[in-house]
Chain A
Amino acid sequence: MISADPSKVTAICFDRIHHPNQHKLEVARANGAYKLLPKVLKEFSSEKIIEEVKTAGIRGRGGAGFPTGLKWSFVPRNTGKPIYLMCNADEGEPGTFKDRDIMRFDPHLLIEGMIMAGFALGVRDAYIYIRGEFLHEANVLNAAIEEAYAANLLGEHILGTDFSMNLTVHRGAGAYICGEETALIESVEGKAGRPRFKPPFPAVEGFYRCPTVVNNVETLSTIPAILEFGGAWHASIGVANNTGMKIFSVSGQVNKPGNYEVPLGTSLKTLIEEHCGGLQHGSLPKAVIPGGSSSPWLTAEHYDIPLTFDDLAKAGSMLGSGAIIVMDETADVLAVTRRLAHFYAHESCGQCTPCREGTGWLERVLVRIENGQGLPGDIAVLEDAAQYMAGRTICALADGAAAPVMSLIKHFPEAVRAGIVEKAA
């Protein structure tokens, strides 16, 4: 049970995931799912819901951290075009595995959140874009959706109200880039996943050029709690401007890797030492990737940093999706960077010049250095190739590809130099 006292909240999205068979409608309902829905549909207005979400201060849990209520309020109403809601369940960011647990253990939480969001936005058709590899989760979701339709929680005149909404699961085909919201929209439209330039933003022109809201699984799964206990309740969890609980997917060289839902503002050190059982070797991490592989690295210097969007931005990194990859003193940072460079070179959609050509270039240079065949000037090449693709492309994939390389050079230049053969004088 989620406590009405914000200081006693231990989990929001993961509150019910430990119940056996929670994915079944009957069990979910017994545990409180859809309890609030009739009230929301009958008594709440769209404005009130959006206002509550704004008050809650929840920022998008997918990576960018954009305030959800604000995003919803950008959607133009009465354009005559349908408004679409898309749940971004692509969860492709290396290191992230939180949405997967929500979907496989408590799909009705997400469905309920989507019905409420759809109701607030006036949506007739909503979609869950789920990453292709999540076959089991897609099956669970589809079974849950089927049950929800049968119980009149989805479809025509939901629970006897005037609100009707369809929900469809759309499986991706394995492209990382389809987690970018406009590439996701392209993909659902049946095209290759290539991000669109913005403006126009999806809230104005998205799916089939109609207003579209794309929200992360965790974000949408928080909506029922916000509406149940109120925006102010949510706003008093965590710290100012970084409110609520956040699931961190911790992986790497810790003793107990896994998903941990903690209030925003919890320090990195607390999370690693108290929740994850500490580092495998030594007492200080060599490097930590705090927000998924696309975020710039932190070092031991920032071990005490409070995990908030703002603090991480101040430290030159980002909270991202909350995927924390921990490297202890035994980690080979060059090998990690080379592997990440390979990932981005493989996943670049190819449309923008710097990313298409730059990601492959970075990988090839890093491979060379890893093999001890680096050339003098390679550090400058890596710096230029990374720096001049970041921020200069349609989407942020290039920034993500540049981040590990720039972090490596910034924090561990000696690891790079070791692979460079200086020409004999």
Chain B
Amino acid sequence: MTTLFINDVEVTVAPGTSILEACREQEVSVPYFCYHPELSVAANCRMCLVEIEGWNKPAASCCTPVAEGMKVTTQSESLDKDHKMTMEYLLINHPLDCPVCDQGGECKLQDYAVDYGASKGRYSEGKRAVNNYELGPFVTTAMTRCIHCTRCVRFADEIAGTGDIGVLNRGDHMSIAGIVDECLSSELSGNLPDVCPVGALLDGPSHDVSRPWELTRHKSTCTQCPNGCDIEIESRGDEVIRIQPVENSPEPWLCDRGRYVYDAFRSENRILTPCVRQDDGMQDSDWDDAVQRAVEQLSGKRIGMVISPFWSVEGYTAIRLLRDTAFPDAQVAFDLHRRDMRPFAFEEGFVQTTQQIEDADEVVVLGCDLRQRLPLMMQRLRKRLGNDKPVTRIGSMNYRSNADLSSEALIRPRDWSAVIARAMQQVMDLGKSAAGMKEWIAAVEDRHEAGKLLGDALMAGSCSLIVGEEIRCHPDAAALIHGLDLLMRGCGHAEADADGRNLVPEGMNAQVLSAVFGDVRSSAGDIFDAAAKGELDAILLVGSDPIGDGLFPVQARKALDNVPLVQVGAITGQISGGAQVMLPASAYSEIEGTFINMEGRVRVATNPIATIGEQRPLWKVMMRLVQALGHAVPVVNIEELRQQSIGFLPDLGQAWQSDAIDSFMMATPRHAKAAYLPAAVAADDKSLDVVSRYSLYREGMWARASALLSHAGVLHALDDVLVHPDTLQTLGLQQGMLTVVSEQGEQQFNIGTRDDVSPGVLFIAKHSVAGDLSNSVRISLRGGAA
């Protein structure tokens, strides 16, 4: 540790800390523009000057490391003059348009101008004007206001990994610009207005709409992906103006999906009033009537329940209470992707924090398009790579990562068992093994060289495995995950304090869903099949869209042709056409509640925004149904409901009682007995494996209802159906209209090619023309029509 003196106060900090960081730790205020705790140091604004005893000139505190015994002064008459001059330099070319600038009220330049600025400038020449440029759909630019701190450039390079913002020209002709229009391809672009200390980069959707001081801030949790970031929903009245990240939360950034989904809060797709089916359409109704209609559809029936993973802990408890009181035989599905319902050796959820993964010796990503799935996790891996820490990726698609991975391999989903077997062989060659590994290897005929990368990475002191949807949705998932579990145990990455087995879940609350519904869980596909076969009488859908999302749109449609649907939710998707009744429930922005993110971290949403319709919190809707179905209502207030939650989640209860929610991490379930050998893989034929692509702009009802995200989705879209050029060459085909033969019959698609996808795989975009192929495992491809 290094001891120094800041304004004569003795301070001890870690060696290598900059003076500015040491001052920040001590809450000594030093003005700055270009410094940002999450970005590299640029030291160009020269605002953070301090005096150091024995130095003949002031030093920039952001780039000067502390030294033993250093005596730092942050305030003096001459420093005051320095700050005033820096402000004068900055303001000579800065427009005095604060009254019309969105940044006004939360602008560093404005704040420091109050502290250090002169009331009148001495510069009397003309001011610079700078061209604006296009930065994608979410960022509006006013580049004349730019102070060239290069935070945005460093953000694009270091955090987004896109590097598509740069500095042009020199001297006072210097300007920040994108290389090409609409260039900003990052899913983190919405952070740029936050990063910009002045009003040069502005939030596009809220541009010219409001003033920061008019906004009310609501602490909430984003439920748009498993990461569950803390958010501040900023509203004016009941209108959401923007969503901001929360300072000092685990993630300093927000992805565009979580940030710009808010226009869906007011979209046409919202269920804001109870609706009932009248002839061919849905008609607004009232609660009494709608609940009565729901009871008619459900009472005494055999029902299947399909729920979304985005409700709160309290919501799930209420759903479970409804099931237990009214439909004790009902199966519940909360995952629209999982095919293999055998227990997994390590179930959905992260056992490590994202910080622990960032710090691990090795990280291996298996079958996951992390940039789309978990943009902020990908950002952390990018940060790792920047610090020369390795990241290995194996999967069927290696595009769109915006990072130079240390090693990667392209494989087909059917190769997974051969990859894992090769990894086992590799670790055994290097002297590691686990009981059961030999049997597992013996069940696999082939070896795939990609496994060597996995095996080598596992030999590190600590290794984090991030297992993605390609394995989670695999028809033989339980066996593959057992194989990975053997590998991790054999290499010492499964002990309680060094567990690196992370399975990317479908959505939020993975650990809660396992705890509350684990014993009654079913595959959504199986529920739809049962309904189609007449084994069920009705489907109760709580906030999910199995036609718009997931692997089972075809089965869902068949099911709905056969049985009635009762829908409870905040927003509706493509499935609503089939509903008999729709009951409005409050959205995540509109409730107080508890959420658990993929790491098992508890997020509590408080002060919700005002509701704009007749919707009620989900638990109240559930209790209303319980009552209407003729049962005693088990809970009447949220305290009683939480008592019930504790029954399912005793650990959470303890944390609540001991006021330790902030540090509590919910354990991720493990199934020690979930040992399965992999199924034989059909001999190599000419069939292609189907992989359905995830797009953060299109997945989920909220995102599809958001015009902002939909627009970005169009800008960033790839071809609906994609293959590797070699795939076509092997089959003797040309790019263009081709025929796909699947269990759906023959369909024709325009098929594009990309080099960065695995040969032997057909990639389909969900929600596209080929969405119905989602649940196909193998298809074959042949030439166009006749």
A353 to B41 alpha-carbon distance, docked (Å) = 15
**Contact at A360–B172, with CB atoms within 8 Å?**
yes
Chain B hits for A356, CB < 8 A: 89, 148, 171-172, 174
Chain B hits for A364, CB < 8 A: 125
Chain A hits for B173, CB < 8 A: 350
A360 to B125 alpha-carbon distance, docked (Å) = 10
Q: What 1/0 mask marks residues of chain B from 106 to 142 whose CB sits below 8 Å from any chain A CB?
A: 0000000000000000111100000000000000000
**Contact at B43–A197, with CB atoms within 8 Å?**
yes
B255 within 8 A of A: no
**Contact at B92–A361, with CB atoms within 8 Å?**
yes
**Contact at A357–B89, with CB atoms within 8 Å?**
yes
Q: What are 23 of the A-B contact pairs (CB < 8 Å)?
A: A194-B167, A197-B60, A345-B172, A348-B172, A349-B170, A349-B171, A351-B150, A353-B46, A353-B47, A353-B90, A353-B148, A354-B46, A356-B148, A356-B172, A357-B89, A360-B171, A361-B92, A361-B123, A381-B122, A388-B85, A389-B89, A392-B46, A392-B82
Knowing A346-B171, A392-B57, A393-B46 are in contact, say whether A357-B85 is a contact too (CB < 8 A).
no
Q: What 1/0 mask marks residues of chain B from 675 to 692 whose CB sits below 8 Å from any chain A CB?
A: 000000000000000000
Closest 3 CB pairs of A and B: A350-B174, A391-B57, A388-B85
A384 within 8 A of B: yes
A108 to B90 alpha-carbon distance, docked (Å) = 48
Instruction: Say how far B756's CB is from chain A's closest CB, in angstroms.
Output: 25
**Contact at B90–A391, with CB atoms within 8 Å?**
no
Total chain A interface residues with beta-carbon distance under 8 A: 35
Given A353-B89, A388-B82: 18 more A-B contacts, CB < 8 Å: A194-B167, A345-B171, A346-B171, A348-B170, A350-B148, A350-B170, A350-B174, A351-B150, A353-B47, A353-B90, A354-B85, A356-B174, A357-B90, A357-B92, A359-B172, A368-B125, A384-B85, A392-B58
B568 within 8 A of A: no
A192 within 8 A of B: yes
Q: What 1/0 mask marks residues of chain B from 54 to 66 whose CB sits below 8 Å from any chain A CB?
A: 0011101001010
**Contact at A388–B93, with CB atoms within 8 Å?**
no
Chain B hits for A377, CB < 8 A: 122
B42 within 8 A of A: yes
**Contact at A375–B174, with CB atoms within 8 Å?**
no
Q: Which residues of A from 326 to 361 have beta carbons under 8 Å from B?
A: 345-354, 356-361
A358 to B89 alpha-carbon distance, docked (Å) = 6
Instruction: Say how far A250's CB is from chain B's closest CB, in angstroms.
Output: 30
Q: What 1/0 mask marks residues of chain B from 152 to 170 whose CB sits below 8 Å from any chain A CB?
A: 0000000000000001011
Q: What 1/0 mask marks residues of chain B from 30 to 50 whose CB sits below 8 Å from any chain A CB?
A: 000000000001111111010
Q: Is the interface of B mostly helix, strand, loop or mixed?
A: loop
B754 within 8 A of A: no
Chain A hits for B148, CB < 8 A: 350-351, 353, 356
**Contact at A197–B41, with CB atoms within 8 Å?**
yes
**Contact at A352–B46, with CB atoms within 8 Å?**
yes
B606 within 8 A of A: no
Chain A hits for B124, CB < 8 A: 375
**Contact at B58–A391, with CB atoms within 8 Å?**
yes
Chain B residues with CB under 8 Å of chain A are 41-47, 49, 56-58, 60, 63, 65, 81-82, 85-86, 88-90, 92-93, 122-125, 147-148, 150, 167, 169-174
A175 to B89 alpha-carbon distance, docked (Å) = 23
Chain A hits for B56, CB < 8 A: 391
Instruction: Say how far A253's CB is from chain B's closest CB, in angstroms.
Output: 30
**Contact at B43–A394, with CB atoms within 8 Å?**
yes
**Contact at A350–B169, with CB atoms within 8 Å?**
yes
**Contact at A351–B57, with CB atoms within 8 Å?**
no
Nearest residue, chain A, Cβ from B122: A381
A80 within 8 A of B: no
Nearest residue, chain A, Cβ from B43: A197
Instruction: Say how far A81's CB is from chain B's closest CB, in angstroms.
Output: 12
Instruction: Say how far B416's CB is from chain A's closest CB, in angstroms.
Output: 37
A190 within 8 A of B: no
Q: Which residues of A from 304 to 318 have beta carbons under 8 Å from B?
A: none
Nearest residue, chain B, Cβ from A351: B44
In this complex, which of A368, A388, A393 has the most chain B Cβ atoms within 10 angstroms of its Cβ?
A: A388
Q: Which residues of A from 190 to 226 have beta carbons under 8 Å from B?
A: 192, 194, 197, 199
A422 to B151 alpha-carbon distance, docked (Å) = 44
**Contact at A192–B89, with CB atoms within 8 Å?**
no
Chain B hits for A368, CB < 8 A: 125
Chain B hits for A177, CB < 8 A: 170
A360 to B169 alpha-carbon distance, docked (Å) = 14
A197 to B19 alpha-carbon distance, docked (Å) = 15
A351 to B172 alpha-carbon distance, docked (Å) = 9
Chain B hits for A354, CB < 8 A: 46, 85-86, 89
Chain B hits for A347, CB < 8 A: 170-171
A282 to B421 alpha-carbon distance, docked (Å) = 92
A172 to B45 alpha-carbon distance, docked (Å) = 27
Instruction: Say how far A392's CB is from chain B's closest CB, in angstroms.
Output: 6
Chain A hits for B47, CB < 8 A: 353
A391 to B171 alpha-carbon distance, docked (Å) = 17
Nearest residue, chain A, Cβ from B42: A351
Chain B hits for A199, CB < 8 A: 65
Nearest residue, chain A, Cβ from B81: A388
Chain A hits for B89, CB < 8 A: 353-354, 356-358, 361, 385, 388-389
Instruction: Say how far A191's CB is from chain B's closest CB, in angstroms.
Output: 10
Chain A hits for B60, CB < 8 A: 197, 394
Chain B hits for A346, CB < 8 A: 170-171
Q: What 1/0 mask marks residues of chain A from 365 to 404 whose CB sits below 8 Å from any chain B CB?
A: 0001000000101000100110011011110000000000
A388 to B78 alpha-carbon distance, docked (Å) = 10
Chain B hits for A353, CB < 8 A: 44-47, 86, 89-90, 147-148
Instruction: Say how far A338's CB is from chain B's closest CB, in angstroms.
Output: 14
Chain B hits for A345, CB < 8 A: 171-172
**Contact at A392–B49, with CB atoms within 8 Å?**
yes
A169 to B523 alpha-carbon distance, docked (Å) = 66
A204 to B172 alpha-carbon distance, docked (Å) = 32
Chain B hits for A175, CB < 8 A: 170
**Contact at B172–A350, with CB atoms within 8 Å?**
yes
Nearest residue, chain B, Cβ from A192: B167
Instruction: Say how far B58's CB is from chain A's closest CB, in angstroms.
Output: 6
Chain B hits for A357, CB < 8 A: 89-90, 92-93, 172
Instruction: Say how far A163's CB is from chain B's closest CB, in angstroms.
Output: 30
Chain A hits for B88, CB < 8 A: 384
**Contact at B170–A394, with CB atoms within 8 Å?**
no
A305 to B49 alpha-carbon distance, docked (Å) = 36
**Contact at A350–B167, with CB atoms within 8 Å?**
yes
Instruction: Say how far A188's CB is from chain B's closest CB, in angstroms.
Output: 18
Nearest residue, chain B, Cβ from A367: B125
Chain B hits for A358, CB < 8 A: 89
A108 to B487 alpha-carbon distance, docked (Å) = 61
Q: Which residues of A from 136 to 189 have beta carbons under 8 Å from B?
A: 175, 177
In this complex, which of A352, A384, A385 has the most chain B Cβ atoms within 10 angstroms of its Cβ?
A: A352
Instruction: Say how far B371's CB is from chain A's closest CB, in angstroms.
Output: 26
**Contact at B125–A348, with CB atoms within 8 Å?**
no
Instruction: Say how far B360's CB is from chain A's closest CB, in angstroms.
Output: 23
Q: Which residues of A from 285 to 302 have beta carbons under 8 Å from B?
A: none
Chain B hits for A389, CB < 8 A: 89
Chain B hits for A194, CB < 8 A: 167
A389 to B81 alpha-carbon distance, docked (Å) = 12
Instruction: Say how far B472's CB is from chain A's closest CB, in angstroms.
Output: 39
Chain A hits for B45, CB < 8 A: 352-353
Chain A hits for B85, CB < 8 A: 354, 384-385, 388
**Contact at A394–B44, with CB atoms within 8 Å?**
yes
Nearest residue, chain A, Cβ from B168: A192
In this complex, which of A177, A356, A359 has the most chain B Cβ atoms within 10 angstroms of its Cβ?
A: A356
A385 to B58 alpha-carbon distance, docked (Å) = 16
**Contact at B57–A359, with CB atoms within 8 Å?**
no
Instruction: Say how far A51's CB is from chain B's closest CB, in angstroms.
Output: 29
Nearest residue, chain A, Cβ from B84: A388
Chain A hits for B167, CB < 8 A: 192, 194, 350-351
A388 to B46 alpha-carbon distance, docked (Å) = 11
